[in-house]
Amino acid sequence: MAIQERAVKEVAVDTGTPAGPVWRGAGLGTQLWVLTARQIRSMYGDRRLALFSLMQPVIMLLLLSEIFGSMADPADFPQGVRYIDYVVPALLVTTGIGSAQGAGVGLVRDMDNGMVARFRVLPARLFLVLVARSLADLVRVFTELVVLVAVGVVLLDFRPAGGVWGTSAALLLTLFVIWSLIWGFIALAAWLRSVEVMSSLAVLVMFPLMFASSAFVPLDALPEWLRSVAHLNPVTYAVDSARRLALDWDPGWSVPGALLTSTALMAVGMYVAGRSFRRPPNE
């Protein structure tokens, strides 16, 4: 009551006309929940779009496992490891990369259609709009990866040596890595503010990251020049970390390295996104 009385006094006019209580906005937790729920409803509002987003990783899994798997030389792969068990942990990472770029494109569309302008005049923390976007896209990625693993288990006999726990650990690690990439794309979107540029940049970045890595074949099977590029590719280390967990190999420094680099990327992405998002719309 005391808080309400102070709010009323602050907005009372000089004529003495009593003013009503002023709504100063909900708490941070409530704001984040409402904004995240709105983003999730927006993503899955069109069931056709939701179905297509779930079909894409499944199609990639079927194509890569059957085409590359039929051509793969067992001598090039670790002894006793089937190609399906080798490639699924990699597809967790590459699928997440493809989905992460959608976070940036979606943010630019919200900025273009006036949704962000509405948020600017509400008593809401603008940075929470970005956090909600990242969390909603992370939920979407999680759903896609679970479907991917389920299809691999049911249709392609995906049975990694790490079992359920190893696969779950690989999934959690992948989600953290992808969350950092989502923040990277959100930062680019808040800075560039162009759907066309974001879409072109996403394609330009995504395919080299996916194929110039150890995702689909061991590094020793790549040409020497491409192997050098793959050694510098952060996706190689994310894939190796997820693969080691799923296949129950010694993780060594790969898992801590993937977590540290992802944490650094997320911190930079959050900072750049927050600074760029506060710029006026026309700047």
Longest dimension (CA), the chain: 89
Could you give the CA distance from residue 146 to residue 141 in angstroms, rounded to a whole number?
9
Residue with tokens 């779930």: 54
For tokens 């940036």, the residue is 104
What's the CA dihedral at 252, 257, 263, 264 to 10 degrees? Answer: 170
Instruction: Give 90's contacts (C-beta < 8 A, 6+ positions apart).
Output: 214, 215, 216, 239, 242, 243
Burial class (CB in 10 A: 0-12, 13-18, 19+), 68: middle
Inter-axis angle of helices 28-44 and 126-156, nearest 10:
50
Cβ atoms of 89 and 247 within 8 Å: the answer is yes
CA–CA dist 164, 250 (Å, integer) = 17
In which residue are the tokens 């006793």 written?
Answer: 80
What pTM does this model have? 0.82
Q: What is the pLDDT along the chain (283 residues), one digit of tens a residue?
A: 443 444 434 444 444 444 445 445 567 778 888 888 888 887 777 777 778 888 888 888 888 887 776 776 677 778 888 889 999 999 999 888 878 888 888 888 888 777 776 777 666 677 888 999 999 999 999 999 999 999 999 999 999 999 999 999 999 999 999 999 999 999 988 888 888 888 787 777 777 888 888 888 888 888 888 888 888 888 888 999 999 999 999 888 889 988 998 999 999 999 999 888 887 665 5
